[in-house]
Structure 1
Amino acid sequence: MRIYFTFEPRPDLRDPLVAEFPHVDFIFETGLSIDELQRADVLVTYGEDLNNENMNYATNLKWIFVASAGIEKMPAQAIMERNILVSNVRGIHKTPMAESMLAHILAIKRALPWIYEQQKKSEWSKKAKQSELRDSTALILGLGAIGSEVGRLLQAFGVTTIGCNRSGKEAAYMDNMVCFDQLMEALPKADIVISVLPKTDETTHLLKLEHFKVMKSNAIFMNFGRGNLVEEDTLNQAIQAGEFGYAVLDVFEQEPLAADHPLWSLPNVIVSPHISSHSSRYVERSLEIFKPSLEKWLRGEKDLDNVMDLSRGY
């Protein structure tokens, strides 16, 4: 059994992994090598180094473990044609991403960006426009591990949570539920609108200008899912027209965001360069998911955790 990592875990994470599975040949490299890809039975990757061309060399590959939640950059058709099983680290992002979202919300509510600017100017002023998070209402689009975790944290702050998914089916830490078709009725109630939706055909440009027009004028809009949720021209138009109060954006239709893009300079926009999931414990948590699946795989089992359906995109 030859397992090829296209990234190198820290020694304190790598060495225990090798010791725990002494009969496995582990190869650790930074970046993808065609020679190693040809020999690998299992590939462990962040999912951005595979393409249709190099998949032609993956003749022995039977399982791809993706140390990421999204697979939109992977050659899905080529993988499906070869009947390669794919699993990922779904759920790993819930702690850092929920903390990132909560940090941004509290920063806006308690006027921290303004306070930091005053400090730079050495200006003593008490004119901060501060408000409270308690008794707010949050509408959360996408109710997997991340959406449920941010719902749990917000409820602890006294926030009413409305969950939104395709079916409207009940989800953890949501006080009320709506489906996509009910967004126009739910958006006017929300002080905070958070999207953690995956990239699918159904979520592409789900939000249109009419949706932003019914939001509260002081609402906070946060996109931490995928940039396909809304066309950037539409989003920019809604912000410029003052349809809502603040935007916190971790994802964009085109990444990286161009240096001359107007979103960089708008005073009520926070650009987070797709880093809300980053954490010093990221690889540690990935391996906590990988190891039990590897044990199953070595026993000949295929019911691994987080097996993905590439035809659906998640």
Structure 2
Amino acid sequence: MVVLFTFKIKEEHERQLREEFPDIAFRFAGKLDVDVLTEAEIIVTYGEDLSENEIEQAKNLKWVMVASAGLEKMPLRKLEERKILVTNVRGIHKTPMAESVLAHILSLKRSLPKIYEFQREGEWSKKLGSSELKGSTAIILGPGAIGSEIGRLLQAFGVFTIGCNRSGRLSEHMNEMISFEKLITRLPDADIIISVLPSTPETKGLLTAVHFDDMKDDAIFMNFGRGDLVDEQVLIDALDQQKIGHAVLDVFEKEPLTSDHPFYRMANVTVSPHVSSHSSEYIPRSLQVFTYNLRKWLNGEEDVQNKIDLKRGY
């Protein structure tokens, strides 16, 4: 059996895999090696380098392990036609992403950007306008593994958490749950709106100008899911017209942002270059999910972790 890794991992991780699975021919190419592609039964990828053409060439392919949560750049229809198993690493992002979200919120609430600015300018000033997180209300779009962890941390700070998903079904660490249809009714009460939604047909363009009209004029909007949640011009207009107080953006419609993008010049926007999930523990956690599933795969077990419904895209 040939397993192709299309991204680099540390030598110690390569060695651990070879020692644990001595009968498997691992190919740590660090790219989509076309010479190995035709042999590979399993491909481990970040999900951005596989097209329909590569899937056609991979005659022996049976399983694609995606070391990411997002699948929007993958040829899901072709994979479904071939009946290829697709799994991802959903859940491993919850700690770094929740910490990133909380860090940005506390930074804004406690005026850290202004403090840093005063320091750079050599200015001693206490005119900060700081506020408290305690007693605020947060809506979390997508209260899955990541959203629930964000909710847990926010609740520890005394925040009332409202989870919002397609069904409105109860999720952990949410004081209240609503469906997408009910979102508009709760936006006027929210001090913070956080999205960690994936990109699916249901979530593309989910937020419109009407939603921003109903937000508080000092609300913090945070997008840590996918950039196609809202048309960027809609968001720019809402910020220009001061319909909301601030936006923290880790994802964008097109990445990377060009150097002349207006977000860079807007005082009420924080641009984060899609790094909220980055951590020294990312690859080790990904490999834990992979090795767990690989053992099941080798034993012929079908109840693998994080199996993707290719019709739904998650």
Q: TM-score range by the shorter chain?
A: over 0.9
Q: Please give the alpha-carbon distance, in whole angstroms, between the structure 1 residues aligned to 2:247 and 2:122.
A: 27
Q: Give 1:169's aligned amino acid.
A: R
- The residue number in structure 1 matching 2:310 is 310
SS in 1 for 2:52: coil
- Provide the C-alpha distance between the structure 2 equivalents of 1:12 and 1:220, rounded to a whole number of angstroms: 42
Q: Which runs of 5+ in 1 are unaligned?
A: none
SS at 1:247 equivalent: strand
Query: CA separation in 1, counterparts of 2:97 and 2:128?
Result: 27
Give structure 1 regions of 4+ aligned residues with deviation exceeding 4 angstroms.
none
The CA distance in 1 between the partners of 2:261 and 2:98, in whole Å, is: 27
Give how far 1:14 is off.
Answer: 2.0
* The 10-residue stretch of structure 1 (12-21 or 113-122) with the greater mean CA deviation from structure 2: 12-21
Amino acid at match of 1:136: S
Local SS of the residue matching 2:38: helix
Tell me the distance in 1 between the aligned counterparts of 2:310 and 2:206: 21
CA drift at 1:12: 2.3
Displacement after TM superposition at 1:54 (Å): 1.8
Q: For residues 239 and 6 of structure 2, what CA distance do their matches in structure 1 show?
A: 40
SS at match of 1:135: coil
Aligned length: 314
**Structure 2 unaligned residues grouped into runs of 5+:** none
Q: Which residue of 2 aligns with 1:110?
A: 110
* Residue 81 of structure 1: aligned partner: 81
1:142 Cα deviation (Å)? 0.5
Q: Distance in 2 between matches of 1:88 and 1:202?
A: 20
Q: Name the SS for the 2:95 alignment partner.
A: helix
Residue 12, structure 1, aligned to residue 8, structure 2: no
- Give matches, 1:45-124, under 5 Å: 45-124=45-124
Q: Whole-Å Cα distance in 1 between the matches of residues 254 and 286 of structure 2? A: 27
For 1:123, give the aligned amino acid.
Answer: E
Structure 2 Cα separation of the partners of residues 254 and 74 of structure 1? 16
Distance 2:183 2:292 in 1: 39
Which secondary structure does the structure 1 equivalent of 2:216 belong to? coil
Structure 1 residue 56 displacement after superposition: 1.8
2:234 corresponds to 1:239? no
Distance 2:132 2:157 in 1: 10
2:160 is the counterpart of 1:160: yes
Shift of 1:212: 0.7
Please give the secondary structure, in 2, of the residue aligned with 1:53.
helix
The superposition leaves residues 20-64 of structure 1 with CA deviations (integer Å, 9 ceiling, x where unpaired) of 111111110111111111111111111111112222210001011
Q: What is the deviation of 1:158?
A: 0.7
Q: What residue is the counterpart of 2:278 in the other structure?
A: 278
Over aligned residue pairs, what C-alpha RMSD do you find?
0.9
Residue aligned with 2:290, SS: helix
Which secondary structure state, in structure 2, belongs to the residue aligned with residue 39 of structure 1?
coil
- Residue 120 of structure 1 aligns to a residue whose secondary structure is helix
1:252 Cα deviation after fit: 1.0
Deviation, 1:209, is: 0.9
Deviation digits for residues 206-225 of structure 1 (CA, Å, limit 9, x no counterpart): 11111111111111000111
Deviations 1:115-169 (A, max 9, x none): 1111111111111111111111101010110000000000001111011111111
Offset of residue 176 of structure 1: 0.7
Deviations 1:72-98 (A, max 9, x none): 111112211111100010101100100
Is the counterpart of residue 37 in structure 1 residue 37 in structure 2? yes
1:7 & 1:212 partners in 2: Cα distance? Answer: 39
Which residue number in structure 2 is paired with residue 214 of structure 1?
Answer: 214
Structure 2: distance between partners of 1:185 and 1:55: 44
- Corresponding residue for 2:197? 197
For each residue in 1:197-246, what CA deviation from the matched residue of structure 2 results, as whole angstroms up to 9, or x when unmatched? 11111111111111111111111000111111110110100000000101
Listed one character per residue, the Cα deviations across residues 220-279 of structure 1 (whole Å, up to 9, x for unaligned) are 000111111110110100000000101000111111122211111100100111111111
* Aligned residues with identical type, % of pairs: 58
What SS does structure 2 have at the residue aligned with 1:215? coil
User: d(CA) in 1 for partners of 2:52 and 2:258?
Assistant: 27
